Amino acid sequence: MALCDASPPAGELSPVLGEIFLTLARQAEREVRKALADRLAHADWAPVALVNVLALDEIEIARPILLSSPVLQDDDLLRVLIEASLDHQIAVARRPQISGRVADAVIDRGDPAVLTALATNRTAEISVEGLRRLVEQSRRVAALRAPLTRHPRLTEVLAEQMYHWVGTALRQSIAARFSVDEQRLGAAVYDAVEGVLRKARVDHFEPEPPGREEMERRLVAKLKAAGQLKGGVLVRAARERRLSLFVHGLSALGGFTVGQVRQALAAATPEALYYACAAVEIDRAVFPSLLADLRKLNHGLPGDLGQAVWLRGAISPASATRAFRALVDADPAGQRAAV
């Protein structure tokens, strides 16, 4: 390593010394190559051939070179993208101030981990078209969404496109950064979802057999009388595709009308349903999977508008009951649980 310290800070390295470095890199032990890479990572006088050998070495040796070496040019980085491992490609994508040519090559390859590394690189020279392609990739690669919403080159047009497939928290981030009409876009998202669901109602919905609802109502009455009607029964009912059992059970356990429960199930947002479930002490950690099961049974409803209120923190059953009653009609269908 004394050779590195003795090298001139300016000017060209002598060919003889360059050959010594290259021979050392090819024959040295791993620890020596690692130390050499660390020393040469920022050296603008380092021999090009040597830097390229180190750039294709195992990733712990190559990483400082790929991230920092001023000697590496676009063609060198493109070669790494083609020939080296996934970890090498991620290091290239994270390299400060990579050119648009290299960024486009990363996007062309389409590996989710490498794309995500590029999206987090604020200094990469990503073109407008390149960023559009990243946004489009974020439809399938969820890890891209958060870094892209914070990317300095994200435009309002691209932000509005992303709004259609990101979650509630990222929608709020987009709305805070851009002049996004949340109500208009939210309605557009809901309409798009409803268009799919309306078709699903015809193609995939399986109605309950005749007499099932009355049978489930009687079962709920027996369970309640025996003191066995608990939140776990409702969760299991949804998992077993027994929607009527869930409806009558939630109604009886929470002291709600059947009409109120059905109103919550038909709503554009799952907020009221969440509060009803919290009121009967269904754990909020269970609610997302319960919601998914219910949507499969109920034409995809409740919809996904509004905030994910179950992420805010715990709520007492009494507070949840008050919140639920504030969101639904007093007695929308005049149906009170007959138990």
pLDDT at 83: 94
Instruction: Tell me the sheet residues that pair with 257.
Output: 336
pLDDT at 181: 56
Decide if 338 contacts 214 (C-beta within 8 A).
no
The structure tokens 């905030």 sit at 307
Mean pLDDT per 10-residue segment, the chain (339 residues)? 48 52 62 89 90 94 96 96 95 97 95 95 94 90 89 86 71 71 52 45 51 91 94 94 95 95 93 95 90 91 83 88 89 48
CATH of domain 2-177: 1.25.10.10
3 state SS for the chain? CHHHHHCCCCCCCCHHHHHHHHHHHHHCCHHHHHHHHHHHCCCCCCCHHHHHHHHCCCHHHHHHHHHHCCCCCHHHHHHHHHHCCHHHHHHHHHCCCCCHHHHHHHHHHCCHHHHHHHHCCCCCCCCHHHHHHHHHHCCCCHHHHHHHHCCCCCCHHHHHHHHCCCCHHHHHHHHHHCCCCHHHHHHHHHHHHHHHHHHHHHHCCCCCCCCHHHHHHHHHHHHHHCCCCCHHHHHHHHHCCCHHHHHHHHHHHHCCEHHHHHHHHCCCCCHHHHHHHHHCCCCCCCHHHHHHHHHHHCCCCCCCCCCCHHHCCCCCHHHHHHHHHHHCCCCCCCCECCC
Is this prediction's pTM over 0.85?
Answer: no
302-311: buried (b, 16+ CB within 10 Å) or exposed (e) per residue?
Answer: bbbbbebbbe
Q: Which amino acid is at 53?
A: V
How many residues would you count in the chain?
A: 339
pLDDT at 299: 87
Q: Compute the distance between CA of residue 96 and CA of residue 41 in angstroms, rounded to an integer.
A: 13
How far does CA 154 lie from the centroid of its chain?
18
What is the domain partition of the chain in residue ranges? 2-177, 212-327
